[in-house]
Amino acid sequence: MKKLSFLLLLLLISAPVFAERLFNIPQPDDLDLVEEKRLLNAVETAQKAVRNAPDDAEVWGQLGHVYLIHRWEVPAIACYRRANSLAPDEFRWLYLLGRLTTRREPEAAVKYLNRARTLNNAYAPAHLYLAAALRTLGKLDEARQHLESAKRIQPDNPFSELWLGEIALTQRQMKLAQTHLGNALRLNPKQSEAHALMAQVAIALGDKQAAKQHAQAARHTTEYGELSDPVWREVLQAGVTAPLYAERGRRYMTEGNYASAVAEFEVLISRTQKDIDVWLNYGVSLLHIKRYGEALAALKHVQTLLHSDKDVQKEKNPHEIAYLQAQSYNHIAQIYYETGQPDAAILTSKKAIQLFHNNVRNSQPSDKARDPEYTTFLANVHANLALTYEDIGQLEQASAQYQKALELLPTKSALHRDLAGVYWKMRRYAEAEPHYKIVIADEPSDVQAVYRLGLIFLTKGDYEMAIARFEKAIELDSAHGPAYEAMGIAYQEIGDIPSAIEAFEKRLQLEPGNRKALEMLKQLRQLK
């Protein structure tokens, strides 16, 4: 009897535990079709964690991540719901549930996301998804408020302005739509949706020419700007299949974290790997972390695949193959440059340019050939070639290459700076002057450009202008000794000896014992 009571007691105590353990773990219907062992292991590990700790929200969330990132949304939602019921005050589960239900169940999404906002109101993606759900429900004013909030929190997010523009267009507020969509395009010129909507705005405003231009731009595939979303990043980390390693690698590359990118791509690198993008991105990432030998091997493998692998050749059209070859040549040239092989770098850059002109640009329809991606690529190759020439002192060739780059990207400030620098080295100050002016107009805080423009004015005898530039340089960098020194000379030239002395004294303070300053001060004090 005692034994029975004890067993009953044990049963009662352990009942909740058994109940939890009996809780159904959601399963993807087609899990048995998965051949990828890494994924099966990841699923099994995550499920095992749930079985071991069924009342731990974190393990449920992790299982949800594994499902979601591998496109099993239905069981993922069930996992997040369970996680949310176990940890109702955890932001991530509410946010993900809201995000996943935004379109299909907008009313539910609004509830989840509003609750998430009470836990973290400074998370821009939550505002954006909430706005999307509200927009679907026709609650435009509320949607607009959340889009504005997202804009305040994350001013460069690519979606607030786009969706504000869409709402304005829906309400036939054409001027307002034009403003928002214009802002969206400034943030991301490759956002085709903004162009598509802008075409409609332009038609409504009677500007057929603009409508046609936007319609043309809208045909390109959108390249979305990155939305900073740490929760989604956590989900992405759960991915264990090849496309997800590659996606993470690409994301790391856009963030400039090339070491992490290499780690992601390395998982995918094998003798049988034929994904050109993986090899190319791997090579480029290695180049950035200065593992030049491996980078060269990877990029040469890209060339081999493009040149002789039948599967790759079947998958890509001749334009794509030529463009990829040109890209890899450009990166190989960079490796040669970095490893002190300028001749090889020049030869390889020229190959990239020739290949591009013959097999990519000139063989495409004119609208395709003007694709901004192509233009940027070619400008970069010319700029790299210019840099190599500059390094070995072939300044004429360097300036010619920078000019070619600037013909392609006339508004790119960095190219103006580089070309001005080459002219500077060649002492062709008059030719450097307009480029420095453009650089300063674009980046008023570029101290070197400001200082050098001052020197150019000084050599031209335009002392007042020169002094103004030196003052600006000192304002930007109060420890800029050469600017004080040059300013002293300028003051001396206009006969303002006290100011000249003051400038040289500052120079001396910054660099005690500076011989030029000591000598000038001696001369100036005698004049005084």
Which residues contact another protein (rule: CB under 8 A)? 28-30, 33-36, 39, 69-72, 74-75, 103-106, 136-141, 162-163, 166, 170-173, 192-197, 199-200, 203, 211-212, 214-215, 218-219, 239, 241-244, 314-315, 317
Nearer to another protein among residue 203 and residue 468 (C-beta): 203
What is the closest distance, in whole angstroms, from the C-beta atom of residue 268 to another protein in the complex? 13
> Between residues 44 and 391, which has the closer beta carbon with respect to another protein?
44
The CB-of-62 to another protein minimum distance in angstroms stands at 17
Nearer to another protein, 125 or 283 (CB): 125
C-alpha separations of 131 from 95, 107, 178, 458, 492 in Å: 13, 12, 20, 57, 63
**Three-state DSSP class for 29?**
coil
In whole angstroms, the minimum distance from the beta carbon of 99 to another protein comes to 13
291 by Cβ neighbours in 10 Å (0-12 / 13-18 / 19+) ranks as: middle
Tally the residues of the chain: 528
To another protein, the closest distance from the beta carbon of 174 in angstroms equals 11
Q: Shortest Cβ distance from residue 318 to another protein (Å)?
A: 12
Smallest distance, Å, CB 149 to another protein? 19
* Separation of alpha carbons 416 and 407, rounded Å: 11
Least separation in angstroms between residue 196's CB and another protein is 4
Contact 262, 302 (CB under 8 A): no
Sequence-ordered list of residues with C-beta below 8 angstroms from that of 380, at least 6 positions apart, any chain = 330, 405
Task: Please count the other Cβ atoms lying within 10 Å of the Cβ belonging to residue 313.
Answer: 14
Closer by beta carbon to another protein, 139 or else 291: 139
- How far is it, in rounded angstroms, from Cα 466 to Cα 109? 61
Based on CB atoms, which residue is closest to another protein, 153 or 246? 246
Tell me the C-alpha distance between 258 and 404, whole Å: 29
CB 200 within 8 A of CB 215: no
Nearer to another protein, 215 or 510 (CB): 215
* Rounded-to-integer distance, Cα 508 and Cα 495, Å: 21
The three-class DSSP label of residue 34 is coil
Nearer to another protein by Cβ, of 211 and 395: the residue is 211
The residue among 211 and 466 lying less far from another protein, judged by its C-beta, is: 211
Residues 6+ apart with CB under 8 A from 450: 440, 444, 469, 472, 473, 476
Smallest distance from the beta carbon of 74 to another protein, in angstroms?
4
